[in-house]
Chains A and B, each alone.
Chain A
Amino acid sequence: MDIVMPNGLDPDPTPVIRARNLDLTFQTGDGPVRALSDVTLDIGKGDFVSFIGPSGCGKTTLLRVIADLEQPTGGSITVNGVSPEQARLKRAYGYVFQAAGLYPWRTIARNVALPLEIMGYSKAEQRDRVARTLDLVNLTGFENKFPWQLSGGMQQRASIARALAFDADILLMDEPFGALDEIVRDHLNEQLLQLWARTTKTIAFVTHSIPEAVYLSTKIVVMSPRPGRVTDVIDSTLPRERPLDIRETPEFLEIAHRVREGLRAGHSYEDV
């Protein structure tokens, strides 16, 4: 079903992630900081959703709420129909952080095997899955290397393999390519799309790059800061098959323009 639809035009009856009037206020030394305000959002199965906005707009916080790494102070949210905590305990999602965060004392293969060890997969199953996911991110042959022997882009790919290894339906990615240079980034974006097409996962992706968001997403959630809220949700009209040069088509530029408008609208609010 996830292949047929122009995503999101037709609201999925059972969204994978469903947020209603989500609020999150951090208590800090300088008083309360409102990180999320009245966020309402549906993410359907097989969607590739990007959260985009300037820093401080709560996009990472929103992702962390979905992952049960932060607790909302108001509103409701379900992941796979249950609370984020239950979803986490069922290992419903793989999380890719801004930094690869590979364990330096483990080889690449053993880093990818880490979640499998924790989740109690058999040795044989671990070997199979490590081999399969490393192949998925084009890292076959680097099994026995230690992280420091790999480039930044390869490390980030290994961390994606680690998030994919246990076959969660949802992939949460927090600016995974933010620290990489543009060329590597383009390459990884392309690979990520191929991977998404092959695995039919639901992906929530935080970024502050407009081209990245437009290129990758079936749905773009534009956010603005202070307090973090959703200002626009754009359903992409681009086809699922996306070569890199789609970024020069008028359609692409039009979506990018709308994202930029959305971001600007959020910003002008801040200037007051």
Chain B
Amino acid sequence: MAGGRTLPILVVVASIMAVWYVATVWLNTPWQLGVYEREGRAWTASDLVVDTMAQERPVLPAPHQVAIEIWQTTVEKKITSKRSLVFHAWITLSATLLGFLIGTALGIALAVAIVHNRATDRSVMPWVIASQTIPILAIAPMIIVVLNAVGLSGLLPKALISTYLSFFPVVVGMVKGLRAPEAIQLDLMRTYSASTAQVFWKLRWPNSMPYLFASMKVAVAISLVGAIVGELPTGAVAGLGARLLAGSYYGQTIQIWSALITAAALAAVLVSLVGLANTYVLRRMGARP
């Protein structure tokens, strides 16, 4: 990696850490002072700093506490264990990926219908937009309950909540992408008397690839949010959402933060995987390197 890029990144990370540590001391001090008072103990400033970073249920855990928790619940636990973060992350990831795949497929299918059919354009698009104005937290329990009633439980209901969120950017992006060919490119196809299917596969589809990948980046991140949200209202026993919920029941802030950080890292990995796929595909399609 070029030194010119590493340094700024390190500086940013270091300053975030510094702010975090200062905030840790500041936010955890009131409770720590209470402890000292109850125990009638004399304390110094350095005691305070050390102790505020070593609380069991801090208001804000210190970065190293979160790091240690993540280490202990990933590397040091068997992944089959209910306390393993890898186990929980996998549960959430599988719902995310399934939801993302269904959402992308659905989004593309709707976009194709919208672009090729005026009636669909008029009738479906308003619903697509309306669907996203409903808070996902409100509709997620309904989806779970309804699907349970028809005998669907486990992975699929959660995945469908991911789908609910992730199909939207794909529809919007792909409608734009499939309509992106210039008039002259469409005229050219007309001079060849090309069929609608030929225009789609030889022009609209390849032309829409940059739009598809841009939408998929948003969709995959939002899928993860959907999967986590899907775990929250359902009393799920496993998954990052369940981990967050359990953490908040028992005031396990360190657990909450480690689940949050894991979710963020997962999102970053997913988005960059889509980014890599994007680069690979566009390179294959002869994009200027």
Residue numbers of A with Cβ under 8 A of B are 67-69, 88-89, 91, 93-95, 97-99, 101, 103-107, 114-115, 117-119, 146, 148
The contact sample of 15 A-B pairs, CB cut-off 8 A, is: A68-B190, A69-B187, A88-B191, A88-B193, A91-B193, A95-B188, A97-B184, A97-B187, A99-B184, A103-B207, A105-B286, A114-B202, A118-B192, A119-B192, A146-B286
Picked from B184, B185, B194, B209, the residue with its CB within 8 Å of the CB of A118 is: B194
Residue-wise, chain B 183-201 has the 8 Å CB interface mask toward A (1 for contact) of 0110111111110001000
- A-side contacts of B203, CB under 8 Å: 103
Bound complex: CA of A89 vs CA of B190, how far in Å? 9
- A-side contacts of B41, CB under 8 Å: none
Is the pair A101, B188 in contact by a Cβ cutoff of 8 Å? yes
SS class, residues of chain A in contact with chain B: loop
List B residues 179-236 near A (Cβ within 8 Å).
182, 184-185, 187-194, 198, 202-203, 206-207, 209
- A-side contacts of B191, CB under 8 Å: 67, 69, 88, 93-95
Is the pair A101, B286 in contact by a Cβ cutoff of 8 Å? no
Bound complex: CA of A56 vs CA of B53, how far in Å? 77
Given known A117-B202, A118-B194, A118-B202, contact A104–B188 (CB-CB < 8 A):
no
4 further contact pairs, Cβ within 8 A, besides A93-B191, A118-B202, A146-B286: A68-B190, A69-B187, A101-B188, A105-B206
- A-side contacts of B118, CB under 8 Å: none
Residue among B194, B207, B286 with the highest chain A CB neighbour number at 10 A: B286
Taking the closest CB of chain A, its distance from the CB of B225, in whole angstroms, is 33
Bound complex: CA of A99 vs CA of B287, how far in Å? 19
Is the pair B286, A104 in contact by a Cβ cutoff of 8 Å? yes
Bound complex: CA of A148 vs CA of B189, how far in Å? 21
- B-side contacts of A91, CB under 8 Å: 192-193
Is the pair B185, A88 in contact by a Cβ cutoff of 8 Å? no
Taking the closest CB of chain A, its distance from the CB of B16, in whole angstroms, is 40
- B-side contacts of A115, CB under 8 Å: 192
> What is the chain B residue whose CB lies nearest that of A91?
B193
List B residues 255-289 near A (Cβ within 8 Å).
285-288
Bound complex: CA of A148 vs CA of B185, how far in Å? 17
- B-side contacts of A114, CB under 8 Å: 192, 202
> What is the chain B residue whose CB lies nearest that of A67?
B191
The total of interchain contacts (Cβ-Cβ below 8 angstroms) comes to: 55
Picked from A93, A95, A107, A118, the residue with its CB within 8 Å of the CB of B286 is: A107
> What is the chain B residue whose CB lies nearest that of A85?
B193
Q: Which 8 A-B pairs have the closest CB atoms?
A: A105-B285, A146-B286, A95-B191, A118-B192, A118-B194, A101-B184, A115-B192, A97-B184
SS class, residues of chain B in contact with chain A: helix
Is the pair A103, B182 in contact by a Cβ cutoff of 8 Å? no
> What is the chain A residue whose CB lies nearest that of B282?
A105
Is the pair A88, B190 in contact by a Cβ cutoff of 8 Å? yes
> What is the chain A residue whose CB lies nearest that of B194?
A118
Residue among A98, A118, A146 with the highest chain B CB neighbour number at 10 A: A118
Taking the closest CB of chain B, its distance from the CB of A111, in whole angstroms, is 11
- B-side contacts of A106, CB under 8 Å: 286
- A-side contacts of B207, CB under 8 Å: 103, 105
- A-side contacts of B185, CB under 8 Å: 101, 103
Taking the closest CB of chain B, its distance from the CB of A151, in whole angstroms, is 15
> What is the chain B residue whose CB lies nearest that of A94?
B191
- A-side contacts of B288, CB under 8 Å: 148
- A-side contacts of B188, CB under 8 Å: 95, 97, 101
- B-side contacts of A88, CB under 8 Å: 190-191, 193
Given known A69-B187, A117-B202, A148-B288, contact A101–B182 (CB-CB < 8 A):
yes
- A-side contacts of B182, CB under 8 Å: 101
Taking the closest CB of chain A, its distance from the CB of B237, in whole angstroms, is 48
Is the pair A103, B184 in contact by a Cβ cutoff of 8 Å? no
Bound complex: CA of A117 vs CA of B202, how far in Å? 9
- B-side contacts of A118, CB under 8 Å: 189, 192-194, 198, 202
Taking the closest CB of chain B, its distance from the CB of A195, in whole angstroms, is 19
- B-side contacts of A101, CB under 8 Å: 182, 184-185, 188
Bound complex: CA of A119 vs CA of B202, how far in Å? 13
- A-side contacts of B192, CB under 8 Å: 91, 114-115, 118-119
Bound complex: CA of A97 vs CA of B185, how far in Å? 9
Is the pair B193, A89 in contact by a Cβ cutoff of 8 Å? yes
Given known A69-B187, A97-B184, contact A103–B206 (CB-CB < 8 A):
yes
Bound complex: CA of A118 vs CA of B188, how far in Å? 12
- B-side contacts of A68, CB under 8 Å: 190
- A-side contacts of B198, CB under 8 Å: 118
Picked from B190, B206, B286, the residue with its CB within 8 Å of the CB of A69 is: B190
Bound complex: CA of A88 vs CA of B198, how far in Å? 16
> What is the chain B residue whose CB lies nearest that of A105?
B285
Bound complex: CA of A232 vs CA of B274, how far in Å? 60
- B-side contacts of A117, CB under 8 Å: 202
- B-side contacts of A93, CB under 8 Å: 191
> What is the chain B residue whose CB lies nearest that of A114?
B202
List B residues 2-29 near A (Cβ within 8 Å).
none
